[in-house]
């Protein structure tokens, strides 16, 4: 059986991504910083095995600290500003990185199965999206 390969790119095409296999989780992140980087109420992210994802093209990095106090490198395309990846030493120690799901050319397969940092969700969202399990922080459970 052949593993699924998903490809994508940033808005200008300067950064590309290739994901082999399935993500550990697809999450809606309501943290304040994801709201700011996405320009929306939340960011759709895929938590993926580091060894299963490959990026090509230059990225700029902004060092950030999430609501939880976890440090992140927020990687984005220097040409168009599209967010592409969020790296964390804590997640990397578990073999995980975060890919911004909006990069994928075909997003029909995306089905968020959790939402995180729900305490930061916009009030008008009533704490998050109904029907998807909620976590107060980034709870990387036994992935």
What integer pLDDT is reported at residue 70 of this predicted model? 86
Q: Region 61-85: what's the mean pLDDT?
A: 93
Q: Kindly report the average pLDDT of the chain as a whole number.
A: 90
State pTM to two decimals.
Answer: 0.88
Q: What whole-number distance in Å separates Cα of residue 41 and Cα of residue 82?
A: 16
Q: Mean pLDDT, to the nearest integer, of 53-82?
A: 94
Extents of the domains making up the chain: 5-125
Over residues 127-133, the mean pLDDT reads 71
CA distances from 8 to 13, 14, 41, 114 (A): 9, 11, 23, 22
Q: What is the pLDDT of residue 137?
A: 65
Tens digits of residue pLDDT in 4-57: 999 999 999 999 999 999 999 999 999 999 999 999 999 999 999 999 999 999
- For residues 31 and 135, the answer to whether their CB atoms sit within 8 Å is no
Contact status, residue 84 vs residue 101, Cβ threshold 8 Å: no
CATH topology of domain 5-125: glutathione-dependent formaldehyde- activating enzyme (gfa) (3.90.1590)
Asked if 14 and 77 touch (Cβ cutoff 8 Å), the reply is yes
Cα angle: 135, vertex 72, 16; to 5 degrees: 100
Determine the Cα–Cα distance for residues 75 and 87; give it in Å rounded to an integer: 8
């Amino acid at each position: 059986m052949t593993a699924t390969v998903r490809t994508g790119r940033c808005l200008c095409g300067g950064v590309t991504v290739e994901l082999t296999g399935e993500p550990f989780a697809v999450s809606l992140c309501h943290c304040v910083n994801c709201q700011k980087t996405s320009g929306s109420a939340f960011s759709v992210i895929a938590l993926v095995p580091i060894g299963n994802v490959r990026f090509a093209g230059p990225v700029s990095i902004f060092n950030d600290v999430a609501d939880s106090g976890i440090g992140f490198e927020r990687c984005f395309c220097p040409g168009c500003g599209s967010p592409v990846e969020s790296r964390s030493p804590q997640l990397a120690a578990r073999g995980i990185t975060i890919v911004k799901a909006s990069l994928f050319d075909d997003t029909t397969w995306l089905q968020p199965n959790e939402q995180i940092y729900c305490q930061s969700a916009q009030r008008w969202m009533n704490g998050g999206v109904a029907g998807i399990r909620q976590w107060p922080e980034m709870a990387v459970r036994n992935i």
